[in-house]
Amino acid sequence: MSDTPEAAAKPLHKNEQLKAESNFLRGHILRDLEDTSSGTIPEDSAQLTKFHGIYPQDDRDLRAQRRKEGKEKAYIFMARVRVPGGVCTPRQWLALDAIADAHGNGTLKITNRQSFQLHGVIKSELRPAIHEVNLELLDTLAACGDVNRNVMCNPNPHLSGLHAETLAIAKETADRLLPRTRAYHELWVDETLVAGGAPAEEEEPMYGRTYLPRKFKIVFAIPPSNDVDVFAHDLGFIAITDGDGRLAGFDVTVGGGMGMSHNQLETYPRLAEVLGFCLPGQVADVAEKIVTVQRDFGDRTNRKHARFKYTVADRGLVWIRQEVERRLGWELGSARRFEFTDTGDRYGWTEGPNGDSHFTLFIENGRVKDAAKAALREIAKVHRGDFRLTPNQHLMIASVSPAERPRIEALLREHVLDTAHRATGLRLNAMACVALPTCGLALAESERYLPDLVTQLDAEVEAAGLRDDAIVIRMTGCPNGCGRPFLAEIGFVGKAPGKYNMYLGAAFNGSRMNTLYKVSVAAADIVPVVRPLLRSYAAERLPGERFGDFAIRVGLVSPTGTPADFHDKAQEKPAPEGDAQA
Ligand code: SRM
Ligand code: SF4
């Protein structure tokens, strides 16, 4: 639908036709799921199941062995459960815990967009798994695909009324932007989908038959916390208070995104910009109109240029604002002042104003498994409040009443979960994406490697006297940016097996991205590279100076100037994407 002359001259990406002809996301999903001759589904159905929150994958650890044995890959599926604002009940937790055991690989993954992922679900288990998710009033609809994804919101109920109001608006916005197709319910809930058949008599009033050019992400931030990394997303709402601390409205940000491809300079991470201000009651309308601007002007010819960040970059903020206001029929207000302090979580107990308290549990990279999973099951059985998934992949046991607290404390102590947050400031601010063995796009390890790397770096941190200094370190297995690595003070981005591009200099509060510092650092060389940086930071920093700011002040890197700052100057040839462990 893009109206630029260049876009008009180019053919639409093949996914556009696929979406248009899919009969509102039905396609041949049912037929392909019922085909028992393969453990996976064909590419067309794979593109469509994403809109249902499901990705076909394979266990990449087993690829070589299976090939040697002449067998097909060890196919599995990942299902992403949408949890608006990251809030779920203990009952839902228990259900997901059981679903992961019965139908998945026995782990629950808390994502950095406050969703759950079930990994390792084999084809025959997929429909029962999703069906059971829906029985608990959760779903996987639009957790992936070219639509608005899970809407994030700062999960801290100790912020009281302001938080509750913002969360309610986040949920209203999420509901407004959900696809209306019945296909999801037919396929996974009622199980009444008839393969093929006549086009359903339904419509997508907002999305239309071809949905969006690409994924779309919305977050709500409540300053001073920028835990949602508001500048990393397509659309952001920053809560603004009046003099009495009541919610006055939201500053609106547009055009953020992290993904890029190595050495393709036309792809780049981008920080969102502030568009204007709106009142609480206007948020859902503003979100809807902004989504329709992207629907109509996003690039549908090239999926590497199809995110809203490129629409904003190409057309400019002034144009975007005029177009949004034209559609709204009224003008946005002038942006207000806000100040962010950090992007991290507040671990341990925090007290709420109504007497309730909340315990934020450190869960390394959001992977809930083994003893911690069993312990959380026990806690969920007795907990009367709710659970909140944090944007940093951790878990808040929220709204614990004074009467309930001794029991929760005892369980945390019994299962040694009460001390997890006594880790170094580096570990508490570390985040890795999933990567191997499930992610088909990973070029290098991430979730399975960062904890070990941090253990090695912890020794350096302790030696430099920086044990309690919060330093944001993030790693991803490829440049798609799932772990938001370009907003880390120290960022590692997978280049090839065991090799990472290293980035330095992002702001601690998520307001400035980092810059490429070293290309293709071998895993074994990371500690020797980081050691002197930590030492000089400890010795030479100014009072209160953050590591990212220090890296810039002493000239380790310059602040990001252009998109080229993220790419290898050497233009080395990367390993082909997805082939790291063929
Ligand atoms: Fe992501 C694709 C995992 C947050 C940018 N992301 C993927 C896939 C589905 C791989 C694929 O397409 O086959 C990964 C599944 C791996 C696995 O085995 O589970 C995956 N992304 C994740 C998660 C689980 C990382 C985590 O460890 O928490 C996060 C799930 C969030 C959720 O609940 O919805 C996740 N992904 C992000 C973020 C961070 C964010 O949104 O705050 C980003 C960067 C922000 C952005 O969108 O710009 C992100 N993921 C991508 C991209 C690059 C998009 C782009 O604009 O180029 C891809 C690849 C793609 O879409 O083609 C991708
Ligand atoms: Fe996979 Fe790359 Fe995302 Fe990591 S950043 S989960 S390797 S797509």
- 532 in any annotated domain: yes
- Distance, in Å, from the CA atom of 94 to the CA atom of 397, rounded to the nearest integer, reads 14
- How many domains does the structure of the chain reveal? 1
Distances (CA, A) of 324 to 215, 276, 292: 19, 11, 9
Q: Determine the structural domain holding residue 446 and report its residue range.
A: 425-566
Asked if the peptide bond before residue 353 counts as cis, ω within 30 degrees of 0, the response is: no
Establish whether residue 441 lines the binding site of ligand 2, counting it when its CB lies within 6 angstroms of any ligand atom.
Answer: yes
- d(CA 366, ligand 1 centre) in Å: 14
**Ligand 2 probe mutation, 434, 474, 495, 577, most atoms within 8 A of CB:** 434
pLDDT of residue 420: 82
Establish whether residue 479 lines the binding site of ligand 2, counting it when its CB lies within 6 angstroms of any ligand atom.
Answer: no
pLDDT of residue 192: 60
What is the distance between the terminal CA atoms of the chain, rounded to a whole angstrom?
37
- d(CA 400, ligand 1 centre) in Å: 32
Could you give the angle at the alpha carbon of 346 between the alpha carbons of 343 and 349, nearest 5°? Answer: 170
- Distance, in Å, from the CA atom of 581 to the CA atom of 233, rounded to the nearest integer, reads 30
436 CA: nearest ligand 2 atom: 7
Establish whether residue 81 lines the binding site of ligand 1, counting it when its CB lies within 6 angstroms of any ligand atom.
Answer: no
- 391 in any annotated domain: no
Closest listed ligand to the CA of 367 = 1
Establish whether residue 435 lines the binding site of ligand 2, counting it when its CB lies within 6 angstroms of any ligand atom.
Answer: yes
440 CA: nearest ligand 2 atom: 1
- d(CA 140, ligand 1 centre) in Å: 15
Distances (CA, A) of 286 to 217, 254, 315, 468: 14, 11, 19, 41
493 CA: nearest ligand 2 atom: 5
439 CA: nearest ligand 2 atom: 1
**What's 558's domain CATH number?**
3.30.413.10
- 482 in any annotated domain: yes
- 243 in any annotated domain: no
- d(CA 169, ligand 1 centre) in Å: 24
Establish whether residue 80 lines the binding site of ligand 1, counting it when its CB lies within 6 angstroms of any ligand atom.
Answer: yes
pLDDT of residue 421: 84
pLDDT of residue 196: 44
Establish whether residue 118 lines the binding site of ligand 2, counting it when its CB lies within 6 angstroms of any ligand atom.
Answer: no
- d(CA 435, ligand 1 centre) in Å: 10
User: Angle of helix 308-315 relative to helix 283-297, nearest 10 degrees?
Assistant: 80
Closest listed ligand to the CA of 432 = 1
pLDDT of residue 582: 32
Best CA proximity match to 230, nearest among 430, 115, 391: 391
- 186 in any annotated domain: no
Which residue has the CA at smallest separation from atom 3 of ligand 2?
Answer: 482
143 CA: nearest ligand 1 atom: 34
What SS3 state is found at 228?
coil
Establish whether residue 434 lines the binding site of ligand 2, counting it when its CB lies within 6 angstroms of any ligand atom.
Answer: yes
Q: Which residues are catalytic?
A: 80, 149, 215, 217, 433, 439, 478, 482
Establish whether residue 446 lines the binding site of ligand 2, counting it when its CB lies within 6 angstroms of any ligand atom.
Answer: yes
pLDDT of residue 122: 98
- 93 in any annotated domain: no
pLDDT tens, N- to C-terminus, the chain (582 residues): 444 544 557 999 999 999 999 999 999 999 999 999 999 999 999 999 999 999 999 999 999 999 999 999 999 999 999 999 999 999 999 999 999 999 999 999 999 999 999 999 999 999 999 999 999 999 999 999 999 999 999 998 777 778 999 999 999 999 999 999 999 999 998 766 444 444 456 789 999 999 999 999 999 999 999 999 999 999 999 999 998 889 999 999 999 999 999 999 999 999 999 999 999 999 999 999 999 999 999 999 999 999 999 999 999 999 999 999 999 999 999 999 999 999 999 999 999 878 899 999 999 999 999 999 999 999 999 999 999 999 999 999 999 999 999 999 999 999 999 988 899 999 999 999 999 999 999 999 999 999 999 999 999 999 999 999 999 999 999 999 999 999 999 999 999 999 999 999 999 999 999 999 999 999 999 999 999 999 999 999 999 999 999 999 999 999 988 888 999 864 444 444 444 433
Which residue has the CA at smallest separation from atom 27 of ligand 1?
Answer: 433
pLDDT of residue 574: 46
Which residue has the CA at smallest separation from atom 4 of ligand 1?
Answer: 482
- d(CA 479, ligand 2 centre) in Å: 7
111 CA: nearest ligand 1 atom: 28
